[in-house]
Structures are given as structure tokens and as C-alpha cells.
Structure 1
Amino acid sequence: MGAAVIVPGPAAAFSIFGFHLWGEEENPDRVDVIDPLDYTATLTVTGDTDLEGTVEKASALYANREQPASGRAGLLSRAKADYRRILGALYEAGYYGPSISILVAGHEAADLSLAVDLPAKVPVAIAVDTGPKFDFGQLTVVNPPPPMDTRRQRLTTPASLGFQPGETAEAGAIGKTSDLAIAHWRMRGHAKAAETGREVVADHPASQLDVALTFDPGREARYGPTSVVGATRTDPEFIRFMTDLDEGDRFDSTEIARSQARLGRLGIFRSMRIEEADEIAPDGTLPMTVRVQDRKPRSLGFGGTYSTIDGLGLEAYWMHRNLWGHGERLRFDASIEGLLEQLDPADYDYNVGVTFTKPGVYSPDTDFVTGLAAKQLDYDTYRETSLSGNIGFSQQFGDRLTGDLSAFFSKARFEDIYGTRNFFTLGALGNLTYDIRNDPLDATRGYFIQASLQPFYEFEYGNPAVRGTLEGRYYYSLVGLDTLVLAGRVKVGSYYGPGAAESPPDLLFFAGGGGSVRGYAYRSIGVTTTVDGEEGTIGGRGLFEGSGEARYRISESFGAVAFTDVGFVTADPRFSGEHDTKIGVGAGFRYFSPIGPLRVDLATPLEPEAGDSRIALYIGIGQAF
């Protein structure tokens, strides 16, 4: 895999891994205009002048005024199509009585034929009078779906879409209301529900729009047999099992969407879709077809991060995603961190591991997961050499809620202020996650909550303990189209067990680093203590972290971020006693690439300790949280 620098003509451009980043991009598919005809275009909007931008975007003549048309035919075709485009844009905004004039060389475009003589550079004048804004008047829905079952479904109503008397009569609200009614009928088992009538009457004197929608729910359907087409490496019976559309059950479009998401999570298909038969059979069943195209089973991936404090980190993995035709995944991971920061390779961080996942072991939403990992980690606060393993299950509970439960062991040696200590730990780990973010890599709306509980027993010192964390993230878009987004994160943790001298340091709490408090080294914030006259930092039994970001999208490709991180670690799990709160502030740059946001952050610690860097640079993929 490599990077290339492309310089087309005098303008510099940069592409990496096949993704164009900036500058003029060569277009190998460019088609030269035949019989080019230059023209000038002016646009005037009267009435509601706030719609000028809307009309400019709708008009192909105006938007492409710097590009020649393809002869007279191309110019007149562009002009005549503009009537429809501009009218549609005004309807979408709730304006149903506009006047649109498009003059080509002084003549109305609608009246011109190809025989017209045009000058070498054609003047085009577009004049739009928006007329008054219309509101919805009398609204009628014939055969509406019955009330829905869940709170979220009940909150989505025609009124919530703007389809109610007195609201601006946006054409889109009519279409969305129709789509909503059909979707609710399909959730109720009526697979072939359809809109059979739409009567729209504009009352121009009153500036009102009366609408009547009629629906035919059709017959209630039950699932028929499910057939699988296109599978070459995957067992069709396994695909049917994972689809989980039991023959004879009532049709429900939400179940089909859930089935498609479940099949997508397997990661074994290049393409996949679930199709319904065109008609319901006489016995009331509706045959289903799953069309898939298998992906190549093996893949190799690379990644990296960089911080001026923690150095360069490189990682790679090899994965077989369909070992025996039932979606089994075998993955090997390896990483090395601390490059460019540490001179001695013995001080680098090394991780190697293998994970095996078997989906659909008990139900289509249950996975069996087991893994083994070996680590050598060298932090500012301790050094770890360990071997660990886990075995357990993960479960998808509906669309948003996931959970996992596993047993784990760890055999580790630690070197820190207490000297060299060995630990052998057996325990259980449970996680519960509720995620309604719109995009995990670049969330602009929604929230994320994760709770973790980890009871364990340590055999070298003979101590039981329990560790728990709770984390929440929230995202709110202040400006339309996600131009300005406020993001917040809070995490708390408590550890109940023996003191630090008899507890594995990796299970105690530290803060600091790119996913915690930026500006401080990774896991460098802890509890200051003195052992045998030597002062050092150890892990704590209480943790608090908070982060706030203001994310501004400058353009489609670039964005900027300002952030503040705060965190502290306490010796007491109830957060009592003294603690040293650490704050990091900074700003960042984002490039929105096809694989996710490229993140570049600069942070500074407000209360640096001796040896702390004043400026920390972080580079990675995805938002900080």
C-alpha cells in the first residue's frame, strides 16, 4: 500500500491511498462539450428574497453559468428544464403561486425552437417572483394506519413532519406523510400498502393548500419461504437462520430492516438485500428472497496513530471472516507503540492477539467470542508484561442495545514504585451499551451510554475486587446541516478492593492521553504517593473524566474543533479526599475522508508537572469521542 503525489498542470494536488485530499483533481472520465456555446446568466428574485439561494441552487442555467452549453439544443434544454426545477424548489418551500421567466437572448425560453438564431455569447435573464407563502389548510387522510406500539414510533406523526393545518405547506411534508403512512401499514403486516389517491388544491386567495391522501393497506401478509441466491462460500441454511424471518409469522418491515442489519454485521458479503415477492400468494404468504454476493474471506489491514507525547503507533491485522461457511471470524492483531519517542526497542509497547468469533450460536443475535493476548507495555507510571484470555458471549438486544458477558484470566508482571510484583487474576466482565448516534466515527446527533462491571479474584495476594465504569456521550447540532455541533463526554469509575500495593495496576484507574485528557501523557494522571522515600504516581480507585468539543464544519471536506478535557483520579472509590484535577485545552483540524474524519489535535496542559510537554500533537482517524 502506498501514497502518491499528483501534480496536474500548474496546480498542486494531493492524494493518499487513492483518496483525493486537496487541489485540482484530474478527471479521467471528463467529456469535452460538443459545439460549445457560451452564455451569461443573471438571476433576480422578488417576493421572498430569502429564497434567492434556493433558486440559485435549483437553476442549472445559473449554477453552471461558467460552463458552456452544448450548442443551441443544450442551452434550450437546460433553460426549459429550469422551469420545472425552480418550480419544484419553490413548492418544496411552500410557494405555490410563483411567476418564472427565463429569457434567452430576449425571448421566453418556453417559446423558442431549435431554429432560433443565437449570438456567440447568449445573454440569459432569469426572473422569479415567489408569490406568497402557502400554509396547509384542510388535511384529510383516508385509511390511515392504526396507532403504533412503541413510543418512538408514536412520536413520529404527520404533525411532527409539518403536515398539519397552519404549518408551511412544504411539498416534502406531503411526501413524507405518505411514506410514513405506508411504512406504518407495513409494520402492521400489510406488505403491499400503497397510496392510491392524492388531491392537492391550492386556494390562492387564502394562500392555503388543501390536501387529501388516500391509502389502500391491502391484505395482511405472512412470511412465506425464504430462498437464498448468490451464496458461494456461505451456507444458505445459515443465511436463512440469520435472516430470522420465520415462515408463517406476520410480515413486519422493521423485522426485515433488522435482518438486513444483522446480515450486514457479519461482514462477509460484498452486497446483500432482502426482496419481497411482487404479490401476496392466495394463502396469504409472501415469499422472501435473500440475494448476496460473498466477499473474499481474507483481509489484511494497517493503521496508525501519532502523538508528540506518546510517539508513533503502528498496528496491523489479518482476518479470515468466513472460516467454515457460517460467518466464523479468526483475527490476528499486532501493534507497536512508542516509536520516535523511545530510543530503546525494549521500551516500546508491544501487543499481539488472536480473536475467534462465531455468530448465531444460540440465536441470530448471539455471538460466541474468545481471545488470547500478550502485551508488553511501558508507561510513565508502570511497566507491564502479561498474558490474558477471555471467553464469552455478545448479544444484540434490538436496534440500539448491545451487551456482552465473558470470563477472563490474566497472568501479569508489573514494575512500578512498589517494585516487581506478579498477579494472577480470574474474573468476569459485563458490558451494556446503548447507542443512538447517527455515525459512530463522526457523530453529530444522538447519544451513547456504556456501563461496565468487572468482578474478579486475584490469587497471588488472595483478594476479591470489583471494578465498574459508566460513560455517557451526547451530540447536539446547533446549526442546520450539522455545521456547528456541540459534543460532550463524561466518564466515572470506581474500584472496590484492596489497596494499590495489592491491586493489579492495569485494573486501577489512570487518566491522560488522546481518549482521556489531551495534553498529558497516556495513563500518566493518577494518585501521587511515597513508597520507601520515593515519590511516584500509582493508579487510583476513583475516576472522573469530562470532555467538551465545539465542532465547526468549514466546508464539505474540512472542519475545525475547539476542546476542553478535564480529569482526576482519587485514592477513594467514593471520590472523597484530595485529588489533583488536570485540565487540557486545545484546538484541532478535521479532514473528512471517505474512511472517516482525519483528526489532528493540538493540546496544552493547564497544570503541567515537571517533565510534561507544553504542546501535544495527536493524529488519528475518527473524532476524539
Structure 2
Amino acid sequence: MREGLGVRKLATICAGAAVALAVAGSAQAFDGFSFEAPGAGAALQTRLKAASLTQAAQDQGTTDIQEIFAAARADYARLIGALYDEGYYGPVISIRVNGREAAEIAALNIPTRLDSVAITVIPGPQFHFSRAEIDPVAAKTVLPEGYRAGQIASSGVIVKAATAAVEGWRDDGHAKARVAAQSLTAQHRDATLDARITLDPGPVLTFGKMQMQGYERMRPERIAAIAGFPAGKRYSPERLDEVRTRLRRTGIFSSVSLTEDEAIGPGNTLDTTLAVVEEKPRRFGFGAELSTTEGLNLSGYWLHRNLLGGGERLRFDAEVTGIGGTNGAADYSLGARLDRPATFTPDTSAYLETLLEKTSGDDYDETSFRLGFGLDHIFNPRLTGSAGVAYGWSKVTDASGQTFFRQIALPLTATWDNRDSATDATRGYYGKLELTPFYGLSDTGSGARLSGDFRAYRALDAEARFVLAGRAQIGGVFGPSLEDTPRDYLFYSGGGGTVRGQPFESLGVNVLNGGTLRSGGARFLGFSGELRSGVTKSIGLVAFADAGYIGLSDYTSGEWHSGAGIGLRYKTGIGPIRLDIAGPVSGSTRDGAQIYLGIGQAF
């Protein structure tokens, strides 16, 4: 006996029939239910019961006869699909409602009383491929491992092989590649399946025009500049993904849809249609973080996504920190930044920013101002870079009097980020390296500031309930003497961003003014490690240890301190709420337990 099966038919069967199942939570399950699969192994029985809507209705206590009957009728296709996906092409399925086969009961003549539902599945033999061919195949196509002679003849593998082959041709520029013919023949005598699929790659296409619709405030020429549509280039799905990504990352659009035309245009070109929906242009937000020594930190921002109709992004940030902190005075900052996407290239944006700050520390008070402009460039989804020019001015008041610093800086930044989440990473790496050469004006020294922040995350189990997280930080100022270095270029250790359990910026150096004046150091090292464990889907516990080093001019003769503690995490849609309790472990800056409260993991 021979039986022909089409790929599309297999895909449809595998998908199953969609049935709406209303659940009466307080009802009791119907009596007389049985599900038997003689000859099926434990794994196959589990798979079949998971596919059965009738089994689900029994488990959930459904008693409505119409719902149960609809589930029983749908189970024929669902069970066949599950069996075909496991390579069983000669099953016998019986679903009897009150002793009658459900398929033979008319939908308008269902029983008014439900006494029993009995499902019996005899899977028969498991089929293997006698032949598994697909042709022609593009050079870089990777077919599923299971699609070859001798392997289990899973219908899902057949569908995956056909999909992979079509996508292989599309990746090679053949946008209209398709399955031209398929021959799938089941030989029940020896439980084998002969599978042969023929593809039609179609011609190599190049991108034609991009039509645009849906924009309101955004100018179409700026949409085109941001999208960077590759007109005239060889077709590639990856290039279309880049266009979508560029438009989405602006934050201007709530929806971005790029659709290929059905018909091939003149000269083997392919036009596309871009449909966008714009977000509301304005947005604001706020944040808060609390520490027993640093006090309460409050921050807020106001954002305009599309200031001039060309995607210009204007953002104002305000922050008040140290409210109720141990140093007795709060710090203030107010900043503004204007970004213009698609400057010079679709992946390059220009920025103009300014920042005014007033800080009050244990050792000095500082008022500072910075104005800068530059370019940000996205090299790929993981690697970004930035280069700019900035002017900085600051007035420092300490025990020795007032000191003014002025400098021209060239900030350079490179960031690598392949974490699976920016706020609650379980896998991947993050690295940020900043190099800022600066030229001092008047009495300010000249040199360079270097800082690095490197993080790694590893899940210890498949569900990522247990995660190891590590962080290493490094910093250094090279060139000027300590007294000629702008104070905000120097490094401290202690607090939530470096060493929890130690007071904020408690570790520095005491060399200025004959050793009587404390300041930040010119060298910094920091290390942090965490073991994160999930107690429930929403609640997690963390054990951590941090260490920090501050040196005057090298990485060996300075001072270390450390802290350790435990933390509680409560996951929300915007990231976990973090509560950490830490105490000092070593160093001369210990000062009792510290408590930290914020949003997002510590790193």
C-alpha cells in the first residue's frame, strides 16, 4: 500500500486545528474519561496527551458538552499531526463519545448527556526515510540534521528542510524561490518514507524602489535617509532587517512593516512598501534609588522624539542625589542632548550635549559645566562607537581654597554588548572602553583618562534560574600631576557602583596640601561577583562580593577595600527591583552595614 503526502498538507496537519476552549474553573471534570495508547512509549504518550484538547478539558474540569464535543472532533487532526511529527504514518485513532465515534456524530445532533469519552491511539510502526532529497540547494544552505536516509521520517523535519532550502536561495539573492514540486510516499510494508522536494530558485533580484506610507510628522526624505534602503543592491533578507532595525531604534515609530512586492519588476528588480506608525512625540520618565549612606537619588527626563520632523531627538535630564546622605548636602545636575540620526551614513548620528552639575563631597565642593558635540556610529548590532569634542570648566572649593580647571577633551568610546538583556542578563558579555585625551588650559594639566567596564554572565542551567555574573573595572589618568587633574577625572571606590558595603566614595588618596587634603586617585581597579538564583518566576536571591582599589600613580602600592552581602530581586516589566544589604569585609573605610534599593541588577 502506498500513500502520497504533500509538504503543505503535512505542515497544516502539524499546526493542527484551532479550537476555542472556555474553561469553567469551578466545575468538576466529566466522568468516564480514558486515554489509551497501546504500544506507545512514555515519551510518545506524553506528546499525544499534550496535543489533545479533550485531555486538556478533562484536566481543567470542563463540563460543557459542546466544548468537550468540539475538542473531541478537533483531536483527530491534532493527534495525527503529533504522530506524523514523530514519524508514525499508519496510526489508528478512535475517539468515542458515549460509545459512538465522534467523527460520525453530526455537529447539530450532539448528545445532551455526556457519559463517557474514550480516546484510543494505536500509533503503528515508526517510519524512517528511505530517501530524503531536495534539489537544487544553494551553496550555503544548512539542512536539518534529521533530513537524510535512515533517520526518523518526522513531518516537521520535512517542513524545516523545505523552509531552510527556500531561505538558502533567498539569502543568495533569489527572493522568489519556492517549492516547485514535492513527492512524499509512505511505504507501509517496510515503514519507510520516500521524500523528494524540487525547488524553483527563480532569478537573482536587485532592490528596486521603496514606497512609504503611514508617516505624519516625519519628513519622507528623512525616513529614506534613516532607512538606508539598498536600492540597486543584490537582494538580501539581511539588508531588509537592517532597514527595519534602523527605523525602530530611532524610537519614533511604534510599528515598522517592510513588505516585498509579489511581482518582479522590470530588469529583475524587487520593490518594497514601507508602512510606519508614529509614536507620540513626547515622553517623560523618572527614577529613584536609595542607599543608607548615599541617601535618596531622584532623576527624571523629558523627551521629544521628532523635534524638527527629521527624527531629531531632544532630551532633558535632571537629577538630585544624596538627599539625606551622610555628607549632609545634595548634588544637582541638569543636562540636555540633541541627537540627529542618519548624519553622513544611515548608521551614524550626530549629537550636541551640555551638562551643568553641582556636587558636594566630604572633601570638596564642585560646580562644573560641559559642552560637547560628536558622532555615534553603529558598526553592527553588538558593536558601537563614539567620538567627540568637549569643553569642560569646573570650580573646586576645598580646604586649600578655590581651584579652576578648564580643558578641551576628545572623548572616544567603544562598546560591545551581546547580553540577552540589558537590565537582567543571564548570558553574554558586555565591554565598554573609554579613552579621553585632554588638553589643559591655563593651569590645568594635559594627558589622557582611560576607563573600562567589562561584564560576563553565565546561566548554570537551561532555565537560567542560577546565573553567575562577574564584573571587572579599570581606570587611570596619565600625564598630569594629581593637583593639576580635573577632580571629576579622578577615581574613588565605595558605594553601589563599585564596592557595596563600603560608604560612597570612601576610598581615595590623601596627598594634596601636604597630605591633609583627600581626593580621588589616578588609578582604579574594581571587581564584583554575583550568584543569582531564582526562587520563583518573580522572586530571586543574590549573594555577592565586591572589591576596589585606588592608587596614586600605579596599580600596586595603593589601598584595597571590599564588601559582601545578599540581595533580593523582584522581577517587573521594566527590570528587577533590587534590594541589597552589604557590609564591609576588609579595608580602612568600613562603616557598618549598607542598604541599596533600585531598579535593575547592580550590573
**TM-score tier after normalising by the smaller chain length:** 0.7 to 0.9
- Equivalent-residue separation in structure 2 for 1:171 and 1:486 (angstroms): 39
Offset of 1:158 from its aligned partner? 3.0
- Provide Cα deviations, 1:397-452, integer angstroms capped at 9, x if missing partner: 13322111011121112345766432112111111122222332333333222221
Please name the residue that 2:12 is paired with: none
User: In the alignment, which residue of structure 2 is the partner of 1:623?
Assistant: 601
User: Which residue number corresponds to residue 613 of structure 1?
Assistant: 592
1:219 maps to which residue?
A: 203
The one-letter amino acid paired with 2:271 is P
Residue 39 of structure 1 corresponds to which residue in structure 2?
30
Please give the TM-score of this superposition, normalised by the length of structure 2.
Answer: 0.84
Correspondence for 1:551 among 512, 516, 532: 532
Q: In structure 1, which of residues 155, 158, 164 is the aligned counterpart of residue 143 of structure 2?
A: 158
Distance 1:194 1:570 in 2: 65
Q: 1:360 is paired with a residue of what secondary structure?
A: coil
The alignment status of 1:598 with 2:591, answered yes or no, reads no
- Please say if residues 457 and 464 of structure 1, whose CA atoms lie closer than 8 Å, have aligned partners that are also in contact: yes
Residues 523-538 of structure 1 correspond to what in structure 2 (within 5 A)?
A: 523-527=505-509, 532=514, 534=516, 536=518, 538=519
Decide which of 476, 501, 508 is 1:519's aligned counterpart: 501
Deviations 1:441-470 (A, max 9, x none): 333333222221111123343421111223
The reply to whether residue 421 of structure 1 matches residue 414 of structure 2 is: no
Name the aligned partner's letter for residue 39 of structure 1.
F
Structure 2 partner of 1:406: 388
Q: 1:289: how far off?
A: 1.4
Q: Residue by residue, what CA displacement relative to the aligned partner does 1:68-103 show, whole Å, maximum 9, x if unpaired?
A: 547322101112323443554565567777776655
- With over 3 angstroms needed to count, the CA separation of the structure-2 counterparts of 1:448 and 1:177, relative to structure 1, is farther
Give the distance between the partners of 1:207 and 1:494, measured in 2 at CA: 71
Within 2, Cα distance between the matches of 1:184 and 1:374?
54
The structure 2 residue matched to 1:257, chosen from 225, 241, 247, is: 241
Q: Which residue of 1 aligns with 2:423?
A: 441
- How has the CA–CA distance of structure 1 residues 360 and 463 changed in structure 2, closer, same or farther, with 3 Å as cutoff? same
One-letter code of the match for 2:137? P
RMSD: 3.6
Count residues with an aligned counterpart: 580
The letter of the residue matching 2:253 is F
- Aligned residue number for residue 231 of structure 1: 215
Using the size of structure 1 for normalisation, the TM-score is: 0.81
CA distance in 1, matches of 2:125, 2:398: 75
Distance 1:328 1:356 in 2: 7
Q: CA deviation at 1:376?
A: 1.5
Query: Which sits farther off after the overlay, 415-424 or 468-477?
Result: 415-424
Per-residue deviation, 1:226:
1.6
Alignment of 1:564 with 2:545, yes or no, is yes
Tell me the equivalent position of 2:5: none
Equivalent-residue separation in structure 2 for 1:129 and 1:308 (angstroms) = 67
Q: Which residue of 1 aligns with 2:13?
A: none
Cα 1:133–1:349 shift into 2, 3 Å: farther
Equivalence for 1:315: 299
- Residue of structure 2 in register with 1:14 after alignment: none
Moved more, 100-109 or 188-197: 100-109
The residue type equivalent to 2:143 in the other structure is: P
Bigger Rg, which one = 2
When residues 422 and 213 of structure 1 are mapped into structure 2, their CA distance, relative to the original with a 3 A threshold, is farther
Instruction: Please say if residues 379 and 385 of structure 2, whose CA atoms lie closer than 8 Å, have aligned partners that are also in contact.
Output: yes
Q: Is the 8 A contact 2:324 2:330 kept in 1?
A: no
Q: Structure 1 residues 485, 181: CA separation in 2 closer, same or farther (over 3 Å shift)? A: farther
1:145 match: 138
Stretch deviating more after TM superposition (399-408 or 371-380): 371-380
Write the distance in 2 (CA, Å) between the matches of 1:127 and 1:440.
Answer: 49
Using the TM superposition, give the Cα deviation of residue 194 of structure 1 relative to its aligned residue in structure 2, in angstroms. Answer: 2.2
C-alpha contact 1:258 1:399 (8 A) present in aligned 2: no
Pick closer, same or farther for the CA change 1:529–1:206 going to 2, 3 Å. Answer: farther
C-alpha separation in 1, matches of 2:513 and 2:234: 68
CA contact (8 A) 1:48 1:130 kept: no
Q: CA deviation at 1:42?
A: 6.3
Q: Deviations over 1:103-151 (max 9, x none)?
A: 555666555555454656x555666677887777754231212238xxx
The alpha-carbon deviation at position 37 of structure 1 amounts to 8.6
Structure 2 portions without partners, runs of 5+: 1-20
Aligned-pair identity in percent equals 33
Q: Which amino acid aligns with 2:564?
A: G
Pick closer, same or farther for the CA change 1:295–1:532 going to 2, 3 Å.
Answer: same
Would the alpha carbon gap of residues 232 and 99 (structure 1) be closer, same or farther in structure 2, given more than 3 Å must change?
Answer: same
Q: Are the aligned partners of 1:47 and 1:132 in contact in 2 as well (CA < 8 Å)?
A: no
Q: Identify unmatched segments of 5+ residues in structure 1.
A: 1-29, 149-156
One of 168, 171, 174 as aligned partner of 1:187: 171
**What SS does structure 2 have at the residue aligned with 1:498?**
coil
Counterpart contact for 1:379–1:522, Cα < 8 Å: no
Mapped partners of 1:100, 1:547: distance in 2: 59
